[in-house]
Amino acid sequence: HTMPSQNSTHTLSHLAASHPYLTTTTALILSYIPLHFIIFGKSNDSDDAKIRAFLERSRKEAKKGLQEENGTSDVGSSMQNSSNSTKKQQHHIGIINQGATCYLASVLQTLYHIPHFTRRVFQIGQKRSPKHSVAAQLQYLFAVLHEGSQSAASARALLKSFGWSDQDAQEQHDVHELLTLLRDHLQKKMRNTQASGTFEQLFMGKEVSYNKCVNIEHTTTENESIFFDLQLQVKGCATIYDAFLKYVKPVRFEGSNALTTDRYGKQDVDRHVEFRKLPPVLMLHLMRFEYVQDPMSGSLMQRKLGDHCAYPKVLKLNPFVTHPNDETESSYFGPPSQEYYLLSVLVHKGSTLNSGHYFAYINTSEDLSKDDSWYRFDDDRVTHVSSAEAIERNYGGVTSPYMLVYVRKTEMAQIMKRVTDEDVPEFVKERVNSSSCSIL
């Protein structure tokens, strides 16, 4: 493996410098250039021509986007929709903050606005008392959000079903940990029901790591592993594509860190990761926090990374899925592409992980290619916003995205098909309408 040649690196740097509207060239060339070019620097005149053409088109698109952001386009769009904004908002209600549960509300609103997931939650049968069942309380909450007549919903009973006290609700928890907790509870409840396999079908991806010897021709394959979300580093990454490149970038183990191979003893090795399968709903956890040593006390302290990391509305990941086989060519919904549309941006405002405030921007449209249905879900407050507020004006800083959720284009119609009244089971409706329903 070789690094990019001086000539190819100079070409990309020159192109980036000549296009001030572009944050980085990496995001722009991925649609045309295979991943091995990005990592190992293979290039030719045809590639350079494609890069130049794509950069020129993207420069025009970026310039237009900046004009819309700084001009009247988005404002005009919002004003045109203001007449029916109130009507739309009646169908989107918030979730009351129980003390420090803004992180919970942003996660629950995101999950609820994945309609296929919501339908599957409604398909879980109940055998235990609703008061002690995470699945039952989530069904109630989703039914209240769907019915939409209340000013806001309460998640207090859901918190209690976790086994949490009122004091626990006053403590800020991590979004990633909460998703893991919910998945563990729901997967158990979904077994042997119509909802069985939901998390695997919607959220599960597969990756494999390879060890390639540096000095001899020998490659070994590590065990294949699964993931339900990807944790991507944002430090020093100008775009989400850069974060993906960092994720798959080979790491060299040499000298005293050399690895023992199965046949040739200790060898200098390049280890890298390849994706075998990406899920229909892709959750990207952005690593916004790191631990550094306090210069005064010498102890470790937490620091938030405000690095600006641009993310697109349409995410194209074909170059990152390598060595396709029969399994990667199909999913529960059918043959996939690797083109994704942005559904949700979970935002953290503050300086530390366990403090500050969480809220979410969510595109509530069935067709995520449309930009007129972005809302800000901020606890019990729901407001209609422009796509520019959710995306272009939200790349980093003290207020920065903490998690991105994308839906793959090929499965979008099935996944985003709206939940109807008929999807809500009668026993859930009865519990919600009952005066003894613990969630109301």
Which residues does residue 230 pair with via DSSP β-bridges, in sequence order? 284
Q: Out of 19, 91, 285, 357, which one is annotated catalytic?
A: 357
Cα–Cα separations (whole angstroms), residue 267 to 3, 39, 180, 224, 315: 20, 22, 37, 22, 37
The catalytic residue among 92, 102, 146, 348 is 102
3 state SS of 13: helix
Question: Is 53 exposed, middle or buried, given 0-12, 13-18 or 19+ CB atoms closer than 10 A?
Answer: exposed
308 torsion bin: left (phi>0), alpha (psi -120 to 50), beta (else): beta
- Whole-number Å distance between alpha carbons of 22 and 62: 7
8 Å CB contact between 35 and 320: yes
Q: 309 catalytic, yes or no?
A: no
**Amino acid type, 391:** I
Alpha helices in 275-409 (DSSP H): 387-390
Token pair, residue 309, equals 């990391």
Residue bearing tokens 């990207």? 284
Going by the DSSP 8-state scheme, the letter that residue 171 receives in this structure is S
Nearest to 365 by CA among 118, 115, 138: 115
CA distances from 195 to 181, 191, 198 (A): 18, 7, 6
**Contact criterion met (CB below 8 Å) for 205 and 230:** yes
289-322: buried (b, 16+ CB within 10 Å) or exposed (e) per residue? beeeeeeeeeeeeeebbebebbbbbebbbebbbb
Catalytic residues: 102, 357
